[in-house]
Each structure stands twice: as C-alpha cells, then as structure tokens.
Amino acid sequence: MSTTKKIQSALISVFSKDGLEPIVRKLHEQNVTLYSTGGTEDFIKNLGIPVVPVEDITSFPEILGGRVKTLHPKIFGGILNRQDNESDVQQMKEFDIPQIDLVIVDLYPFEKTVASGASEQDIIEKIDIGGISLIRAGAKNFKDTVIVASVNEYSLLLDLITEQNGSTTLENRRLFATKAFHISSHYDGAIFNYFNTDETIYKESIANGQVLRYGENPHQKGFFFGDFDAMFKKVHGKELSYNNLLDVDAAVNLIAEFKTDGPTFAILKHNNACGLASRKTISEAYLAALACDPTSAFGGVLISNVKIDLATAQEINKLFCEVVIAPAYDNEAIAVLQEKKNRIILVQNEVELPSRQVRTCLNGLLIQDRNNITDNKEHLKTVTITEPTAQEIEDLIFASKICKNTKSNTIVFAKNGTLISSGTGQTSRVDALIQAVDKAKAFGFDLNGASMASDAFFPFPDCVELAKKAGITAVIQPGGSIKDELSINYCNENNLAMVFTGTRHFKH
C-alpha cells in the first residue's frame, strides 16, 4: 500500500480560529469532506463552506455543557482504523464509520487560564478531554492520519496540501505526530504541576528551545530552553552564545541584589564580578566599576540597575565588551552603543525568575530553592567589642551582596560602595583572601579601612589575621563554626569589627 495518502475527509474542532480560514478554503477547493463541532462548525458555515456536524455521524448531541462532543466510537474509529488491516476495514463498513484522514484540533488554554489567576473552577474547565484524546488518536495512527494540534503548524499544513495537491507522505504524517505528542505531553505536564504538591516529583516541559552556535566549547552542541524574549528585548548585536547566556544569568542575579539601591553598575567575567560600584550617577558608577579591574573587563558582560544615558554609553564605547544590559537606554545612548556591530544590547524586562534552580548531576538532576536571602542591617549581629561604623556597615552589606553571587570559596573586599577586589573559586578560604589582597595591590588599591565579606565561616583565625595585616577594619561572615571564638578573640585583640549574619552563601 502506498505511503502517500490523499486527504479526503477532515475533522476540525478548535478553540482558536486564528489562521484557520485559508486551510478550510483550500480543503474545500480540494473537495475534502469537512466534519466539525460547535463554534468551529459555525465558523465554517459562515465562510459559506459545507460542513457536516459531528452529531450527524454519532446520532448523539453534545452533552454536559459541551464536555462531551467528539468522544464516540464512530469518531475515534474513523481516526484510529488501520487501512491495511482487513478486520478494521470490515468493521468500518459494518458500523458505518466514516474515514477521517485529517484532524485539526487545539487544546483549551489551560496554562493561560492558570496564569490569569482564574478560580479553580474555571481552571478545571480548561482541562481538555476531547481535544487531547483526538490528538493522541491521530498521532498514534500517523500511518493513515494527519494530526495538526496547534495553530503553529497551520502554515506547514497549508504549504503541504497546496504543493502536494492534498496528499501527504508518511514522513509528513510522522512529523505532525511528533509535534502533536510534544503538545499533548507539555499540556499534561502543566496540568500535573498545577495539582502536584509532592516536591520529590519533578516534571518540566519547555516548548521554545533554541539552538546555539555551540556549547561551552566549539566541539560541544549547545541549546537554550527558556523564554529569552520575555526577559529581554534585544536591540542590537550578534546571537548570544552559551557562555554569553551564563554570564547574562550571573549578571541578572547579581544586579538584582542592588535593585533598590542607587545607580549601580557591574562588570562580569566568567560569571564573577570583576567590577561593581554604586554612585550618584550611573556614569560615575560605570567608571568606578571599570577601575576595579580594567584588564578583566575586556570582553565582559556589563549591567546597570538604571537607565544608561549618553555619557555612560560614550564611556562604555571605549571598551570592548560582549553584552550590555540595562532596564532602559536613552536613544542617543543606543545609537552610540550600536557603533560596535557585534555588541549585544539588551533591555531587561521586569520578569520574576524561577523559584528553583536546576542542574544536571551524575545521571540525574539537582534541584534547590533559589537563594533569596540578601543580607541587610537587620541580619547583622556584632560579635566583637569594636562595632562597625555606619560606613563600614554599608560596605559590609555591599560586599556581602557581591560575595553571595561569586563562586566559592570567595572573599570580597569593598570600600565606599566599590568592589576593591575578590578571591574567587579557590580551594581554601585563605587562598581566596591572599588572591584578593594581591589583586588589590596589583591595581593600586589601598585596603586600609576596607571591609571584607566571606561566603562561609572561618574555622581558624588565620583569615582575620591576614585581613588585619592587609588593612581591613571590618568583617562580615555567617558564623557558625565551633571555633568562632578564635576569630572573635583575634578581632577583639586587634580592634577589628566583625558581624555575623547567620546565613551561609556558598555558590558552586
């Protein structure tokens, strides 16, 4: 039997009628018998095109307020029969079941209804029964049936039936079936997640994957699954790479810590901040952030918590950077930043980030709640005789915000609303501190009067001892070591202020 089949009959029953008219007209032009229900039936009639009500096939009306329309053996027999199976062929004749070659159906908008904040009663009514059954039936019998389960596939169907004069190949039908099973599984996943309260069960379906140029390295394939356009408006530049996206993610998480602060600018490289400063103007903040480490800033990702103006854009334009992110830009600033052809310019939208973080691990996944605690004045407990000054408290909190978003083990030095230096991703906290001291000296920063943040407690007093020798006068750390007193005693003997937050901020 030929695998190319001519469409001679179609069942059309859709929630959304957008884009349906050209298909209906083309099917009518090709003498296809149309079956339909309810609002779709009326839609086709209003086009002046003949349509057979499903009730004429089933001899049964819609019941239960429309909950049951197509659930009938004559409908599903017409879709599921195997045309190369003699027993099926005989039963089709015996029970007077019409052949259905094409099914066009969509699903009630369950996810949109949930997102709208509708009542549970309204949400439950948007759980599709007939539609999902038609999709599964049509997809299962792709050898004989074409299933179109989304308005997104209308153009593909129209092109095929136009170019192939109403015929489809087995390859065509398998492709539509694959897309249909994707739609049905995504839909069922959304419904399950609405009901699910068991945190040990994880289901996720993301429908809008994007192929990247490559992964972390050119020999690796790379993909992004998410709604990038919901988070950003891209106004200029080349396509973002896998590494760009990782840096953008780190930048977005970091700048969120300073959302309610004054003008703040951050520069990131390899997911860590190499420059960050808060100032009265964003231009001043950018210049101060750049001064933190102008070497690492080359090729970095830049992000602002306020609109970027012309003066700031002119300064940024002197630097080679991969990505610039801000909630808004002056028109003149955009024009300047666009002078570099490949520079990616993103406008960040107000979008809530997922409450959980997911990463692969071994042969499975690790999932955790997002670290939503940002240290503030109310969290601080002074554990030393020397109390931090008001400026030191500001710098301690400033440093802690950066520390939270830097790879562990990490030490961060800050002074007067400026990142002085940091030690990142070291195997020991002492190494991280030494790295931060050496980096500060390399760029000519004076650490006298600076504040220090650590992402975890000090098990020994060696870190506060090194910090004191470098000129640090105030320290913020979570506390919690059984040997906390050793560090506290050293600080008391050497006039260092130290505060505990009670919250560790590891980031691996």
Query: What is the helix (H) or strand (E) element at residue 242, kind and residue range?
Result: helix 242-256
Question: Per the residue annotation, which of 140, 236, 307, 340 is the catalytic one?
Answer: 140
Q: How far is CA 246 from the centre of its chain?
A: 12
DSSP string covering 360-380, please?
Answer: EETTEEEEEE-------GGG-
Angle at 371 between CA 377 and CA 352, to 5 degrees: 100
For the four alpha carbons of 19, 25, 28 and 30, in that order, the dihedral sign comes to negative
Token pair recorded at residue 26: 């083309």
186 is catalytic: no
Q: d(Cα 307, Cα 256) in Å, to the nearest integer?
A: 15
Question: Per the residue annotation, which of 270, 307, 340, 379 is the catalytic one?
Answer: 270
Would you say 72 and 58 are in contact if contact means Cβ atoms under 8 Å apart?
yes
Would you say 507 and 368 are in contact if contact means Cβ atoms under 8 Å apart?
no
Angle at 223 between CA 221 and CA 225, to 5 degrees: 165
Q: Establish how many alpha carbons lie within 13 A of residue 46's alpha carbon, considering only the half-sphere containing its beta carbon.
A: 9
The number of beta carbons lying within 10 Å of the beta carbon of residue 412 is 30
233 is catalytic: no
Backbone conformation region of residue 486, classed left if phi is above 0, alpha if psi is from -120 to 50, else beta: alpha
Considering just the CA atoms, what is the radius of gyration of the chain in Å? 31
Q: d(Cα 208, Cα 472) in Å, to the nearest integer?
A: 49
Strand (E) positions, 38-150? 52-53, 102-105, 146-148
Active site residues: 140, 270
